[in-house]
Structure 1
C-alpha cells in the first residue's frame, strides 16, 4: 500500500505539471523559512501569519509558470533558471536587510555603482554561511534530475493549462491583496515601511510595486508644474517657527564647522565600558557651558542613511522612502542648500571627506548644493595604512583637512565627514587602546572602540582650532548621522542598555543621535526639546542672523518657542514628548508604557499622524517633481553647477586665487605661513 502511494507520487512528479508543483512547493517553503529566520517582519495575529505563509504562492505560480509555455528539456531548465534568479533576489535582500533593516529598492540598485566602493570587506562581514540555504532547493532539484530520480516529461504540455495557471496566480494575487488591505488599510497608498509590503504581499510583489514607484517618480518630474508649489507654500506658511530673539543673529559672521560623527548614537555620550568613558572629549564638549546640546534629537534617515542625513541637514528636506535622493536626484534637481545660502552671503563653502568623490554621488550633488570646494580623497596623501573600511582614518583625515581649512578665506562653512566609526567597525591593533563590549555580538562589540578613536581624533582637531584662534571665531556643530547598531542586534542592544529585553519603544528611543552647537559666549545647556535632523538648517540660519521666512524648509528652529516637537520618521512612525508610535503600537513617551488609546488620545494621535504623513508627502513632492526649479526665494540666486569643479589641480588653483582676492584665511593672517606645526596627533602611521 505504502509502495503504491510512493509510486503514484513519483509518477506525478515525473509529469511536467508534477515537477512544476514540486518546484513551487520547495520555493514557497524556503521563502517562508527565510521570512521567519532572516527578516524581522513582525507578523502578528492569525491573518498576518496566514498571509506570510501564502504570499510566496501567487508570484511563484506566475514566474515559474512561464516555463510551462515551453516544451521538452527547455521547460525544466527554465524552471531552474527562474528559481535561481528568484533566489539571487532573495539572497541579495537577506544580505542588505541584515545591515540596513530594509529591502533593496530600484533606487538603491540604480545607484549601486555610486556606493559600492569599499564594500568588499563589509560584504564578507555581513554574509553568513546559512544565507546560502536559499539555493538548497535548486541543488536538490538538479540532483533529482541528474540522477534520474525524476525523469523529464517530453510530452507536449497543453497551453491552455499554462494559461490556467497564469490566470490562477493573478486571481490569487488579487485575493491576497484584498485580505491584506482588509488587515492594513491603504497598504500601498499610506505606508512608508517596506516591511509591511513584504509581510503582506511578498518579495516579488514588493519588487514590482517598487519598480512601478520608480517609474512613477520619473514621470512625476516631467509632469510637475509651478502651481504644484502652492500647497507646499501654504503648508509651510502655517508651520513656520519665529526666531528666538535671545539667539537670533548671535553668531552672525562666524565660521561654521559641521562635524559629521559617522554612525554615532546618543547612548555613547557618558557611556562607560569597564569603568572607562568611551568618549571623554565629546562628553566634555556636550556638557560645556557654551554648548547647546539636545538629548531628544533623532536621526530620521531611511535607505539613503548618510546621504539622507546630509539631505536633511543642509536642505531641510527629507530623504526618500526608497533609495537615496542624492544618488537619484542630486545631479539633476534644483536645491536651496546651506552652502549656496551662505556662499551668497560672503562665505567660503567646503566639504571634506576621506573617500572617493563619487561615493553617494557627492561630487555631483555638492555642485547642485553650491559647495565651492570638495576636498575628497584625491586631495590627501595616502598609504594603505592610512585607510580602514570606507576611507581615511579619522586622525589622519582631520590632520590633512586642517591643511586646507587654514587656507579657506573667512568666514567659511566647512563640513567634515568622519569615517572610522562606520560598520564593520574595523581598527588595527596599533590604534586600539579601548576595551570592546562583551555582548558576544561580533558586529556590536568593536563599536565602542572605533567611537573612542573618533573621540580622540576630534580632541586633536579641537586643540588645533584653539591654537589657531578658529575655536573662538567659529560655530562648531556636531551631529550623529544615523544608527551604528541596527535593530537586528536586539539581544546585544538589550545588554548595552542594561536591560533584560527590549521592545519597539526601546528601539525607537535608540534612534537618538547627538546634536550640539558650540560657540564662544553662546548660552549653552542641555535641552530636552524634541527634534531631528530636519530641524538643523533653520536653527543654524537663525543663529547666523538669516531669516527663513520664504525658504522651502520642513524643519523648524529648535530654539524657537514655536518649534514643532513632532519628530517624523521616514516610515511614517513618530515620536513626540507625549506619544511614541511604532507601526500600529502607541507608547507614552515618558514612561514607555504601551497604551490602547482612548477616544481623546486617538484623536490626538490621528492629528499627529496626519501632520507626519502630510509633511513627508510634501517633501517627497518637492524632490520627485524638482519643484524648487519653479520657486526662488527673495534674495536667493539659483545655483549654476557649471561654476564648480572639484578636480585637484583646478580646485587648488581656485583656492590660491581666492586667498589672493580675500586674504582672510588663517594662513594669510599668519603672514602666509602654514600653521600645520600647531597640529598635534598621536596617529602611529605618521611617526
Structure 2
C-alpha cells in the first residue's frame, strides 16, 4: 500500500475513509459468521473481494473529496448489511430481492425487528464514529495525486478477483456451489459481499428457460413415482370428506407433553394427541424458506418446496398451483375459505389465495379488533376463533352438511411472544422457574394458544358433519430461531426441555388412520398424506413429498434453511438421497417456469 499510495496514506482522509469502509465490510463478515459459521473466513477470496468492494465504495470520496458523501455511503452500506444480518438471524438466509418490495409491511413487525438486533451490531456504529473523528483531525488531501494509483490498484484487485473466480468455474457456479453445500450454504454473502448475493439472485432468475428445465423436472417426477411411491389407503378405510387446517404461528413440537413445575404447557393438545382417532407425527422438520409462513401454505396446500432465495407468493403468484382446494372442488364440488387476521397484502396473501383456488379470503378487514396480542397488536387467537365460529354458525361460511375446506392462519404465537397480563392463565404462573425470559414468554404464549384451540375444535366436533371432517393442527414453522442455542446453553433444565432440532407437530384429528408416527417427517410430506386421508389418490398432482402412511416411507427430511439432513440417511440408497437433495431445485423450476400449466 505504501509503495502504491505513499507512506502518508494512513495520515490522509482518503486512507482513513478507505479503512473505515473496509472495516465496516469486515465487521459484517464477523457479525454474520458469529451467528452462522466462520468457515467463510478461511477463504482467501473473502479478503480480496472485501478489499475490492471497499475500494469501489470509496471512489465517491476519491473523486469528490467530500467527506460527508463518503459518510453517507458508509451509513447506507451499514444499514443494508445490518438489515441482512437481522434477516438471517430469523430466516437463516439473505434477504430475497423481492422482499425489499415489502418494506412497507415492517411497521407490523417492529417488535420482531428489535428482537433481531445483537450487541455485535454496535460495532458498525463504533467503526464509523471513530473513523469520522479520526478523519476530521487529519489534513485534507491535496489535489488528486493518488487517483491513477488508486484506479490501478483497484483494477489489479479486480483482475486477481476475476482470476480466482475463473479457477472456480465462474461466479455463478461458485456461488451456487456454496448455496447448495451443507456446510457452506451461508458463506456466499460474507465471501462475495452483499453485492454478490444480489448478483447471484439476478443471474439465477434468468439462468435457464422453461424449455431447458422441463426435461430435467419431468425425469425427476418420473423417478419420484418409483423411488417414493404413495399408493394410497386400502379401499376398506373410509376417507374423510371435509378438511380444516389450523396453522399455529411458530408452534414447536417439544411443547406437547411437557410440564413446567408440574403444570402441562399444552393440556388441550395433549388430550387431542392421546385420542385413538388422532394421527400424530411429533418429529416434523421445518422446511420453510425465505417465505416462512407463506412457505408452509405452499407445502401443505400445493405439495411444493420453497424456492431457492425467492418468495413464490411475491414473485410468481400467477404460476399454476395444483392444490388440495382444486382437488376437493374437482372431486366433490368443495368450496374453500382461508381466514387470517393479517392484511391481505401480507406475503401477497390475497393474490396467492386465488391462485391456490380458494373461493373466499376473510382477512383483517372482516374482524372486530376487540382483543390484541403482539407488538404491534393484532387480533388475538381467542377473538379470532370466537368470531370465526360465529360466522360458521350463521352459515356465512361453510354451511353445515355441505363439502368444505377451511384454513385458519393464526398470529398470537408470533415473535416476540408477549401476552397481555389480562389474557394469562392465573393457574399457569411459571415465573418462578429458572428458565430465561425468551423461553418463558414462548411457553406462556403457547399455553394461551393451546387454550384457545378448544373454541374451534369443540365447535367442529359439535357439527353434524364431524364424522366426515379431517382437522389438521400444525405449526407453520419453528419459533425460537436464533435464540435456540442460547436458550439451551442457559441451563441444564432448558437444554432438557427445548429440542435442538427445528421441529413442528403434524396433528390430524378424526383421521381414518390414527396412531403416533415416530420418526422424522418433512413438512413437504403433509400434502400427499392429506390426499390419502381425503381419498384423493387419483388427483393429477401428488406433490414432491411422500405420504407418511406409505409402507416404505423414507423417514428423512432436509431443512430448506440449513440444509441439515434429519433421519437415518445411511438407510437410504445413494439414488434416493440424491433425489431428495434435488427436490427443492425441481420445485423452484416448477414455480419459476410455470411447469404445471398444461
TM-score between the two structures when normalised by the length of structure 1: 0.76
The reply to whether residue 479 of structure 1 matches residue 474 of structure 2 is yes
Quick one: structure 1 residues 230 and 215, their matched pair in 2 at CA, closer, same or farther if it must change by over 3 Å? Answer: same
Question: In structure 2, the residue corresponding to 1:43 is in which secondary structure?
Answer: helix
Matches for 1:45-60 after TM superposition, within 5 Å: 47=42, 56-60=50-54
The alpha carbon displacement at 1:229 in A equals 5.2
Matches for 1:411-426 after TM superposition, within 5 Å: 411-426=403-418
Q: Which residue of 1 aligns with 2:273?
A: 286
The alpha carbon displacement at 1:512 in A equals 1.6
Q: Which residue of 2 aligns with 1:680?
A: none
5+ residue gaps, structure 2: none
Q: Which residue of 2 aligns with 1:463?
A: 458
Distance 1:203 1:112 in 2: 26
Q: Which residue of 1 aligns with 2:506?
A: 515
Q: Which residue of 2 aligns with 1:554?
A: 544
The alpha carbon displacement at 1:79 in A equals 3.0
Distance 1:100 1:191 in 2: 15
TM-score between the two structures when normalised by the length of structure 2: 0.87
Q: Which residue of 1 aligns with 2:359?
A: 372
Query: Which one of the candidate residues 511, 524, 528 is aligned to 1:538?
Result: 528
Quick one: structure 1 residues 608 and 134, their matched pair in 2 at CA, closer, same or farther if it must change by over 3 Å? Answer: farther
Quick one: structure 1 residues 487 and 29, their matched pair in 2 at CA, closer, same or farther if it must change by over 3 Å? Answer: closer
Deviations 1:76-123 (A, max 9, x none): 44432322222112221232233333332313223444x435112322
The reply to whether residue 263 of structure 1 matches residue 250 of structure 2 is yes
Quick one: structure 1 residues 386 and 299, their matched pair in 2 at CA, closer, same or farther if it must change by over 3 Å? Answer: closer
Question: In structure 1, the residue corresponding to 2:279 is in which secondary structure?
Answer: strand
Query: Which one of the candidate residues 127, 136, 154 is aligned to 2:142?
Result: 154
Q: Which residue of 2 aligns with 1:41?
A: 37
Q: Which residue of 2 aligns with 1:676?
A: none
Q: Which residue of 1 aligns with 2:583?
A: 615
Contact persistence 1:352–1:417 (CA under 8 A): yes
Contact persistence 2:374–2:416 (CA under 8 A): no
The reply to whether residue 327 of structure 1 matches residue 322 of structure 2 is no
Query: Which one of the candidate residues 133, 142, 145 is aligned to 1:143?
Result: 133
Distance 1:190 1:610 in 2: 17
The alpha carbon displacement at 1:160 in A equals 2.8
Q: Which residue of 1 aligns with 2:302?
A: 315
Decide which structure has the larger Cα Rg and report it: 1
Question: Which 10-residue stretch deviates more, 124-133 or 9-18?
Answer: 9-18
Deviations 1:227-275 (A, max 9, x none): 66533442333345243434786224x2211111210111011011111
Quick one: structure 1 residues 221 and 384, their matched pair in 2 at CA, closer, same or farther if it must change by over 3 Å? Answer: farther
Distance 1:152 1:293 in 2: 70
Matches for 1:638-677 after TM superposition, within 5 Å: none
Q: Which residue of 2 aligns with 1:656?
A: none
Deviations 1:327-360 (A, max 9, x none): 2212x21111111221223112011111111111
Matches for 1:326-405 after TM superposition, within 5 Å: 326-330=313-317, 332-345=318-331, 346-383=333-370, 385=372, 389=376, 391-405=378-392
Matched residue count: 584
With a CA cutoff of 8 Å and minimum separation of 6, indicate the structure with the bigger relative contact order.
2
The alpha carbon displacement at 1:578 in A equals 1.8
Q: Which residue of 2 aligns with 1:598?
A: none
Q: Which residue of 1 aligns with 2:484?
A: 489
Task: Tell me how large the CA RMSD over aligned residues is.
Answer: 3.5
Contact persistence 2:337–2:361 (CA under 8 A): yes
The reply to whether residue 62 of structure 1 matches residue 53 of structure 2 is no
The alpha carbon displacement at 1:622 in A equals 0.3
Q: Which residue of 2 aligns with 1:213?
A: 201
Q: Which residue of 2 aligns with 1:625?
A: 593
Matches for 1:89-100 after TM superposition, within 5 Å: 89-100=80-91
The alpha carbon displacement at 1:316 in A equals 0.7
Question: In structure 2, the residue corresponding to 1:167 is in which secondary structure?
Answer: helix
Quick one: structure 1 residues 230 and 222, their matched pair in 2 at CA, closer, same or farther if it must change by over 3 Å? Answer: closer
